[in-house]
A and B are shown apart, each in its own frame.
Chain A
Amino acid sequence: MAIKDYLRERFFPHMWCPGCGHGTILNSLLRAIEDLGLSKSNIVMTSGIGCSARISGYVDFHSLHTLHGRALAFATGVKLSKPELTVIVPMGDGDALAIGGNHFIHAARRNIDITAIVMNNRIYGMTGGQFSPLSGPGKKATTAPYMTIDNEFDVVELAKAAGATFVARSTAYHCQEATGYLKQAILHKGFSVVEILSQCPTHYGRKNKEGDAAAMLEIQRDTTARIGSKALDENPGLIPRGIFVDIEKPEYCEEYGKIIERATKRKAS
């Protein structure tokens, strides 16, 4: 199938700014789904609120565009009630880890078979450029006119600690690498998190003098390195990319299936 067969052209033009990284991430995701040969009718995409969340409307899957921060809670209801569905949840950094932080850690703890994608542009774009819990200190934003003093989360470390059984990081620049990680994340049985660094030239880039979209993509190239690479060994300050966790653990819906077996047996006896 051509990529456009996965899109709802009725929804276009999309609302992302010129140079936004989110369209590239959508491309990486659709290529992953195409490579896996998944049926469109078997996929539910659930999203919250924000620039990233608009992805769910653009794709020709079952799509559930919900409340700010709550996408994983809605997705948990979808998945547990119909475990045969493939559930994919794209989120922004504020959506996933500020207002939605509690749902993020608990979905990871349960190890429910959902693929969470954190499209991290380190800013609240839709509301006009406020700092997010992933901006980190020393940054400029409309709500930090002097500079941010808030520390940032490390999505990978947080997901690992919370119990996610597949955790990876890539960037919009490394779009083919991202496709590979997304394929593995979707196939993974359990809660998987893929953080993909994205660029917001309109708000983050302009305020923090990172240049245009092309310059910001170069920053993604130059400030990250694959885990196990010589570059990372020599420059431990670089942001590591790669698969950080890929383990097997009991998956929530399968475990609940065993509860049903136990309960129906008890009832019958």
Chain B
Amino acid sequence: MSEKLMFVQGNEACVQGALYAGVDFFAGYPITPSTEIAELLAAKLPEKGGKFIQMEDEIASMCAIIGASLTGHKVMTATSGPGFSLKQEAIGYACMAEIPCVIVDVQRGGPSTGNPTHVSQGDINQARWGTHGDHGIIALTASNHQDVFRITVDAFNLAETYRTPVVLLFDEVIGHMRERLVVPEPGALPIVDRLRTSVPKDVDYHPYLPREDGRLPMSDFGGHHRYNVTGLFHDMWGFPSNNPSVVQELLRHLVDKIDTNVDVITRYKEHYLDDAEYILVSYGSSARSAIHLAKNRRQKGERLGVLELQSIWPFPAELVRARCADAKAVVVVEMNMGQVLTQVKAAVDHPNRVFLANRIDGKLITPSDIKGLLRVIQGKGV
């Protein structure tokens, strides 16, 4: 098998990445602009003996993949804004019970039904805090199809490594745009498989007792070990507990297992950043316009660079602080009212030098939109 060249939508690049990572169970519900992911997997999963099911609603889709993950499968669902809202309770369940799963949110305009066929990046904070209660979460994104493929593989790997739901925050432009994709040969990218317990049959297995390295080996439902999984606070047996020390220890674990690994989880790209006086911080499709502008302005001698974030949660605050330390100004380029802007301002040494270049009208932000704001910041007028 060699690498495969394709010309595909971002949604298909995501599907190819998922298949490469070993997805073998998908449950979903039709919703624009993510539906192609379900359609493609309906065709491709049974070809490899995997399972696809169209559930009765978004909630059921999220619940079904959690059930399938417990029998030892790599699982995914895909949705957009309203569906992402509906899935939140079950995403919290996966956080609490520590069930690996991947949720794709191809973002569209919101709130509510909003602007279903147009682009937005308005779900950044929902990915972080959509479900109730404190918890850690991983959310990744990408701005081109090659990266969509790779970050999708990463999503499955991180879900298995940290036993957590991982959100892929794509957007309508990325989802529907067609672009070149090279699917690497099998083995070219590392794949993290399910870590299964080595505890033998008839010996007590503790589903929530960490190994020395902090990881929690799993045991497939249907195997030797019969244990309890619950959304209640629970002890190392998976038994419900409201013992204050059990509750506190588990909650800290759920937050710390993600947040203390921010450096390992962080994914980003630098474009023309080394000597940049002005830095654009962006992600997803809006990063394409930021990179385009930086490339053009560099040709005119302007020291403009882009820090492209590919992991949004846990937020790479230290990375952003360090890269932006010497900048005259930092412009966050995104298609919302400043959801990543808030994080950047909190991260940097000089929050008064951080500005927002955004569009919230369902249109992709353009290089000239960003350039207009940059001129104002630079005192050059519009």
Contacts and interface: CB of A to CB of B under 8 A. Distances in A.
Is chain B a partner of chain A in the same complex?
yes
Interface of A: 8, 10-11, 40-42, 44, 46, 56-57, 60-67, 70, 73-82, 84-85, 102-103, 106, 256, 259-260, 262-264, 266-267
Given A73-B59, A259-B46, 14 more contacts: A8-B228, A11-B239, A42-B222, A60-B226, A63-B229, A65-B232, A66-B93, A73-B60, A74-B63, A76-B27, A76-B63, A78-B67, A84-B222, A103-B56
Nearest to B232: A65
The secondary structure that dominates the B interface is mixed
Contact of A78 (B59, B93, B221, B223): B221
Given A44-B221, A56-B228, A65-B229, A80 B239 contact: no
B218 interface: no
22 contacts: A11-B239, A41-B226, A46-B67, A60-B226, A62-B227, A63-B226, A63-B229, A67-B89, A70-B60, A70-B63, A76-B67, A77-B53, A77-B63, A77-B65, A78-B71, A80-B53, A85-B71, A85-B221, A106-B56, A264-B46, A264-B47, A264-B49
Interface residues of B, number: 45
A83 to B, nearest CB: 9
B318 interface: no
Contacts of B67: 46, 64, 73-79, 81
B47 to A, nearest CB: 4
A66 B228 CA distance: 10
Contacts of B46: 256, 259-260, 262-264
The secondary structure that dominates the A interface is helix
Contacts of A42: 222
Interface of B: 25, 27, 43, 46-49, 51, 53, 55-57, 59-61, 63-73, 75, 89-90, 93, 220-224, 226-232, 237, 239-240
Given A42-B222, A44-B221, A81 B230 contact: no
A262 B46 CA distance: 8
Given A62-B227, A78-B67, A81-B71, A263 B47 contact: yes
A82 B230 contact: no
B84 to A, nearest CB: 17
A74 B66 contact: yes
Nearest to B93: A67
A61 B229 contact: no
B228 A76 contact: no
A62 B51 CA distance: 22
